[in-house]
Amino acid sequence: MAAAAASLGASRAYATPVARGAAIRSRTRAARKIIPGRRSANGLRVDAVAADAPSAIDDDAAMFKGKVKKSGKLSICVFGASGDLAKKKVYPAIFSLFYDGHLPDDFVVFGYARSNMSNDEFKDRIRSSLPCRISAAKDCDVKVEKFLTRCFYTAGQYDDPEDYKSLDVAMAEQEQALWGDKKTLRLFYLSIPPSIFVPVAQNAARHVSSKSGETRVIVEKPFGRDLESSRALTEALAQDLAEEHTYRIDHYLGKELIENLTVLRFSNIVFQPLWSRTYIRNVQINFSENFGTEGRGGYFDNYGIVRDVIQNHLLQILALFAMEEPASLDAEDIRDEKVKVIRSIRPIDMDNVVLGQYKGKRDGDGVLPGYLDDDTVPPGSRCPTFAAMALFIDNARWDGVPFLIKAGKALHKRQAEIRVQFHHSPGNLYKKQLGNREENSNELVFRIQPDEGIYLNINSKIPGLGMRLDQTDLDLQYKTKYSGGALPDAYERLILDVVQGDKRLFIRNDELEAAWKLFTPMLDRIEEDEIAPELYPYGSRGPIGAHYLASRWNVRWGDTME
């Protein structure tokens, strides 16, 4: 099947390069098969690549390799390379792109941070986090070592121009040694706390920019902590970075299900008439994690759950879910529609907001620590680790439909999903069999993670001579439909887009402005009124107040019923 699918890419005309790329990527993934239990030498899960997969992978690599090679030589510098995100996400994503052949042959990766480390110490630090989504027979460890020969580390201060000049010299030396005086794309990843974005972006732009090619800067969320600081950040960055070279990353936009949301909406006519208040009763966007802040209190306590995931990840999901169809798949057309719908969201009513903070809980012989037990959290902090809110979009399509958003740390499971609950079937012909109308209404669920999938809950007749009905699912499970292929991480998709110059999945400054305009008044109220969060036990389903909020709008949280 994979071989047949591989030829598909060659024969079928695709509407756009993006569509062709998506088709090739999904065929490539379809060709990969997980062999449960296999692990590579560095202890990461491996899978076998089906014998006929190389053609699909070659297609994929060739398509991207060709485009990337046209962009010249590539130098990446990760600022904050000693940190959590760099180790957990950024370096693994760059390695995966290298491994799958999406980077040019001529690339080099520099790490920059204050921590004093030798090159070898730095390589030892990141080696264990590099993933191998392939069979050991593919010499993954060889590829890891080859990748590490292109990795270098420079220690320096974030506010000392001389240290940036030294970094520039080090980068130039490696570029010269590897590919001579060729046009080079320099890509900076600011994997640092927002509090130092400006000095790093300005110094990097002034002292480390590419002398021969473009310079692009990836800026991490949450892009400031309120409207004023976000504007100041945008203005400060704009002094040295053109908007076109500034890539505000929200990695949720690179997740498979989020990319698929617009494909499902706009390429399947069956969903289009349903996508409005006429058929949809409420929309729920749920984000839960089954772990706490675990030492990230220095950052988290200054931001809280609303700034950490709701003002960015969940709002982006809401925008893509609720926006009108864009004029094209062009980045600006998509982002135009997202801004419009964010601007249509009604100012947040504090009566529609519930805040929580996780507290310690006995767990067998041990104790699950509360937020305030985290050494990096200031004593007595009221910082919310949970928030639930009801938002309303005041436009013709969504007037009166509650969008219930919920996000929390240290809950009972790790999951992110969109749940669309439809009105009941009018007349309720099968009321005798189905009973309560609301509970038997259809529900469409996008399972963002884990176990990526899309399923539609329907009423159906149970086979047999009688007329018994039950609720069942029309179910697209990625791990079965796409033969269990390991999905690329969101950061792979997004870093590759920066290399390709594709801004479709990145946040534009007016989107950011609209997002902070929406959330800043609420965030200010929380701090001015010193609103205390409702405590909830670590590992629970969150504060009870969230259920009262949902019932106020005649809604039951779908994720708590599973």
Q: Token match 């419009």: residue?
A: 340
According to the binding rule CB under 6 A, does residue 552 interact with ligand NDP? Answer: no
Quote the least distance from Cβ 489 to ligand NDP, whole Å: 12
According to the binding rule CB under 6 A, does residue 191 interact with ligand NDP? Answer: yes
Quote the least distance from Cβ 438 to ligand NDP, whole Å: 37
In the three-class reduction of DSSP (H, G, I as helix; E, B as strand; rest coil), residue 287 is classed as: strand
- Please name the helix (run of DSSP H) or strand (run of DSSP E) that holds residue 246, with its range, or none: strand 246-249
Q: Which is nearer to ligand LXAUTJHC, 14 or 291 (CB)?
A: 291
The item of ligand NDP, ligand LXAUTJHC, none sharing an interface with residue 85, based on CB under 5 to 8 Å by kind, is: ligand NDP
The item of ligand LXAUTJHC, ligand NDP, none sharing an interface with residue 83, based on CB under 5 to 8 Å by kind, is: ligand NDP
The item of ligand LXAUTJHC, ligand NDP, none sharing an interface with residue 309, based on CB under 5 to 8 Å by kind, is: ligand LXAUTJHC
445-471 b/e (C-beta count within 10 Å ≥ 16 → b): bbbbbeebbbbbbeeeeeeeeeeebee
How many of the other CB atoms lie within 10 Å of CB of 342? 23
Q: How many residues bind ligand NDP (CB under 6 A)?
A: 21
How many helices (H) does the chain have, and how many strands (E)? 20, 20
**Separation of alpha carbons 67 and 62, rounded Å:** 8
Sheet holding 184-190, edge to edge: 151-155, 107-113, 73-79, 184-190, 215-220, 246-249, 506-507
Q: What are phi and psi of 300, to 5 degrees?
A: -60, -40
Q: Which stretch binds ligand NDP (CB under 6 A): 41-49, 76-84, 95-103, 352-360?
A: 76-84
The item of ligand NDP, ligand LXAUTJHC, none sharing an interface with residue 80, based on CB under 5 to 8 Å by kind, is: ligand NDP
Q: Choose which of 28, 55, 75, 82 interacts with ligand NDP (CB under 6 A).
A: 82
**Separation of alpha carbons 485 and 30, rounded Å:** 6
Catalytic residue, chosen from 102, 245, 251, 313, is 313
Active site includes 207?
no
Q: Which residue is nearest to ligand NDP (CB)?
A: 83
Q: Which is nearer to ligand NDP, 89 or 150 (CB)?
A: 89
Q: Choose which of 18, 23, 85, 535 interacts with ligand NDP (CB under 6 A).
A: 85
Quote the least distance from Cβ 309 to ligand LXAUTJHC, whole Å: 6
**Separation of alpha carbons 216 and 128, rounded Å:** 28
The item of ligand NDP, ligand LXAUTJHC, none sharing an interface with residue 82, based on CB under 5 to 8 Å by kind, is: ligand NDP
The alpha carbon dihedral of 173, 177, 182, 186 has a sign of: negative
According to the binding rule CB under 6 A, does residue 83 interact with ligand NDP? Answer: yes
**Separation of alpha carbons 186 and 36, rounded Å:** 39
Binding mask 216-235 for ligand NDP (x = CB under 6 A): ----xxx-------------
Interacting positions 115-134 with ligand NDP (CB under 6 A): 115
List interacting residues with ligand LXAUTJHC (CB under 6 A).
251, 289, 308-309, 416
Q: Which is nearer to ligand LXAUTJHC, 275 or 299 (CB)?
A: 299
Q: Which is nearer to ligand NDP, 95 or 158 (CB)?
A: 158
Structure tokens at 510: 């007016």
**Separation of alpha carbons 74 and 165, rounded Å:** 19
Q: Choose which of 1, 35, 84, 169 interacts with ligand NDP (CB under 6 A).
A: 84
**Separation of alpha carbons 475 and 423, rounded Å:** 20
In the three-class reduction of DSSP (H, G, I as helix; E, B as strand; rest coil), residue 490 is classed as: helix
Q: Which is nearer to ligand LXAUTJHC, 309 or 512 (CB)?
A: 309
Partners of 456 in beta bridges: 444, 474
393, 413 Cβ separation under 8 angstroms: no
Q: Choose which of 114, 346, 414, 431 interacts with ligand NDP (CB under 6 A).
A: 114
291, 410 Cβ separation under 8 angstroms: yes
Longest CA–CA separation in the chain, Å: 83
Q: Which residue is nearest to ligand LXAUTJHC (CB)?
A: 308
CA atoms within a 13 Å half-sphere pointing along the CA-CB vector of 283: 25
**Separation of alpha carbons 153 and 168, rounded Å:** 12
Q: Which is nearer to ligand NDP, 158 or 538 (CB)?
A: 158
Q: Which residues contact ligand NDP (rule: CB under 6 A)?
A: 80, 82-86, 113-115, 158, 191-196, 220-222, 296, 299
Which residues are identified as catalytic? 313
